[in-house]
Amino acid sequence: MSNRAPSNILDRPLGGRGRGNSNTTETFVSQSMFAYLYSELVQYHQSRVSSISELERRLESSGYGVGLKVLELLSYRARESKRETRLMNILQFVSANVWKSLFGKPADSLERSIDHADEFMIVDYEPLTSTYVSVPSDLGQLSVDAFLSGIIAGVLDGAGFSARVTAHSVTLEDGERGSASGGGGGGSNNGGFAHQHTGGASSLPLRKDKAVFLVKFNPEVLKRDSSLDR
């Protein structure tokens, strides 16, 4: 059954059309392929920029387009014909649904900043983009997770909640270890990128930091959201 005739993109099935078990509609991409492709992406941009912030900005704009499409695709696949209109709901959507469909597990935590009412943090202990990247000391504060912050910004912007999203690496405290690295199991395929962890014997050194995505919403978004509370 190899129908290789080129089909129009508008004719191909999108998946999630109430086929009973929605797990069967997911496709998998090998993690090593993603790692290679992503490293090429970073190198491509690195050869064309002259500063760290420029590189981060380019990675962000690469992720932005992905975010917009992921938003539409996931909302369609959820088949509920509902959009998110509240701030907390869209953040839940990002940290649970988007993360789950891209990485196979929801984000490790979603926090609200105490000092600023418009800041939220999404934490991931093992972001895929920086797992295979080591940043040399002369590039200092560069975070290659800028790609992921671009994805988050794309999702939020598309839904009408414009925000500035930045990626930060925060050192892990003692004993603070996400369940991500041990929970992979032997090739459990439940997400977009198949994990090949074999128990705890990962060949990579344990990470010393977690990725924190700081989401700062624009003031009019908060105004609109609080006016909906009444």
- Contacts with another protein by CB under 8 A lie at 8-10, 12, 14, 65, 68-69, 71-76, 81-86, 89, 158-160, 224, 228
Handedness of CA 41, 45, 165, 109 (dihedral sign): positive
Which residue in 124, 108, 97, 128 sits closest to 22, CA to CA? 97
Nearest of 79, 104, 107, 82 to residue 94 by alpha carbon:
107
To the nearest whole angstrom, how small is the minimum distance from the Cβ of residue 38 to another protein?
A: 16
* Nearer Cβ to another protein (159/211): 159
**From the CB of 16, what's the least distance to another protein, in Å?**
10
Give min distance, CB of 81 to another protein, in A: 4
Taking the complex as a whole, the smallest distance from the CB of residue 228 to another protein amounts, in Å, to: 6
For another protein, the closer CB: 68 or 172: 68
Q: Within a 10 A sphere around the Cβ of 125, how many other Cβ atoms? A: 18
Sequence-separated contacts (24+) of 40-45 with Cβ below 8 Å: 41/147, 42/133, 42/144
Nearer to another protein, 65 or 185 (CB): 65
